[in-house]
Amino acid sequence: MTAGPLHRRTVLRGAGAVLALPFLEAMLPGRGLVTRTAAAAARSAALADVPARMVFVFVPNGVEPTAWPGSALDALQPHAGHFTLMRGLAHRNAAALGDGPGDHARSAACFLTGVHPKKTSGGDITAGVSVDQLAARRLGGRTRLDSLELGGEPTMRAGDCDSGYSCAYSANISWRGPHTPSGKDHDPRRAFERLFADGPSGEQADARARRMALRTSILDALGGQAKALQQGLGTDDRRKLDEYLEGIRALERRVQASELAAGADGSAAGAPDDALDRDPKGYAERIDLLADIAVTAIAQDRTRIVTLMLANEGSNRSYADVGVPDGHHEVSHHGNDPAKSAKFAAINRWQAARFARMLERLRARQEAGDTLLGRTLVLYGGAIGDGNRHNHDDLPVILAGGQALGVRLGAEHASPPGTPLCNLFAGMLDTVGAPVDRFGDSTAALTLRTKA
């Protein structure tokens, strides 16, 4: 009897590790069907069932408008045809609306919710359910994680970070409920092990300490299963699985190297996790590691929804690796000082370079005849336009990917000035199969897909 297809949800599981497989040709049906026509129909149906994904990348502190969008387009030039610059979109609910100062906190809290947050620094924080979490509810239950939240700086849930607004607003863009920010992982080790450690609580601390002391891989326990699986695969699938496993091992080595640089063995909860901040280029490595973990999570179908904050809103982090030892928030308020404006634009280029690298990783992954980027909607931007003025219209927003989902991409898409950003979110939800009548302050969903 001819063997049937390999199940798409097949996993390799060993002591302290679990690994989902990438999409393989062996997962397509047809080998056990009698006619070529039936086999082709079954394979076509399986390819059509490959899931859609959504990624949201948040940029704090707005942009330097005289350099934008050139500061982003230069970095994104290798991806021409795979993204669209969105113009005219606004977030009215990020404005003061009588609440006075606090644009940074409102920017982050409103970015994916479209809701004006309650001005409070106490425990009665109130925003709204974010678009990523709405998608996770509609598309969840099919992956290990309904969503994955990542960020370059730590989550905060209390304190006054911006003119009477709670730090919970500035440090979170993902909200599970009006009073519940999702939080985020900013430590690449913790994020890596959420995906690959076996069991909901991850590897036990003593086992992890032993493994880290030996510098062995979490994948070592899976070698025998991987070898047995490869014996039943075709040449292309064997090569793809080899590359896939080596990619995960290389990612883990980078995480381990970051821990070694800090002198941390990672053996105990609360171990130092600031290795990637200690040299001028370290923060870029932190963001790149988190982005690579996100891409791997999507490729494995461990989750279909990801948010990544490049930094918390209002962050005053310096970027010495691009010649900006000054704080980010400080130079965003440049007051038309040419020197500060140039530094602000340099940070915007750094941010766009991180995004461009993520798109490169998504394009490099092949899945069911398309790239992973083609099956993923990726939104990049924030809810402050000009960082010096704190306006919330003509926001710096870029939409990438989704071509395999029917999304039309062009160099630029201009909406009428003041069009709610939530119109774009409603269009994205429709594209991934989670349509809504209304989201946030949306007035009509933007049509993203080519009409049949």
Which domain does 304 fall in, by range? 54-186+280-452
**Is residue 193 assigned to a domain?**
no
Q: For the chain, 452 residues long, give each residue's pLDDT as a single digit of tens.
A: 345 678 777 888 876 677 888 778 888 775 554 455 654 554 455 455 678 999 999 999 999 999 999 999 999 999 999 999 999 999 999 999 999 999 999 999 999 999 999 999 999 999 999 999 999 999 888 888 999 999 999 999 889 999 999 999 999 999 999 999 999 999 998 999 888 876 444 555 566 656 555 556 777 878 788 888 888 888 888 988 888 888 888 998 898 887 776 554 444 333 444 555 666 678 999 999 999 999 999 998 889 999 999 999 999 999 999 999 999 999 999 999 999 999 999 999 999 999 999 999 999 998 878 999 999 999 999 999 999 999 999 999 999 999 999 999 999 999 999 999 999 999 999 999 999 999 999 999 999 997 64
**Is residue 18 assigned to a domain?**
no
CB 392 within 8 A of CB 383: yes
- Selection from 75, 117, 73 nearest residue 93 by Cα: 117
Number of domains the chain contains:
1
CB within 8 Å of 110: residues ≥ 6 apart? 91, 93, 94, 116, 117, 127, 383
**Is residue 388 assigned to a domain?**
yes
Q: Find the CATH number of the domain harbouring 411.
A: 3.40.720.10
Rg of the chain taking only CA atoms, in angstroms: 22
CB 22 within 8 A of CB 241: yes
**Is residue 78 assigned to a domain?**
yes
User: What pLDDT does residue 266 have?
Assistant: 42
Tell the burial category of 412 from Cβ atoms under 10 Å away from its Cβ (0-12, 13-18, 19+).
exposed
Report residue 417 as tokens. Answer: 């000035």
**Is residue 374 assigned to a domain?**
yes
User: What pLDDT does residue 162 have?
Assistant: 96
- Selection from 19, 59, 88 nearest residue 307 by Cα: 59
User: What pLDDT does residue 269 have?
Assistant: 36
Inter-helix orientation angle 235-262/223-230, to 10°: 160
User: What pLDDT does residue 31 have?
Assistant: 54
**Is residue 226 assigned to a domain?**
no
d(C-alpha 331, C-alpha 334), whole Å? 5
d(C-alpha 255, C-alpha 79), whole Å? 27
**Cα separations in angstroms, 131 against 142, 248, 256, 333, 425:** 18, 29, 33, 30, 7
**Is residue 246 assigned to a domain?**
no
- Tokens 């809810």 belong to 383
**Is residue 210 assigned to a domain?**
no
The CA-based angle 242-247-252, given to 5 degrees, is 130
CB 333 within 8 A of CB 260: no
d(C-alpha 387, C-alpha 335), whole Å? 10
User: What pLDDT does residue 282 have?
Assistant: 87
User: What pLDDT does residue 270 have?
Assistant: 39
Host H or E run for residue 160: strand 160-162
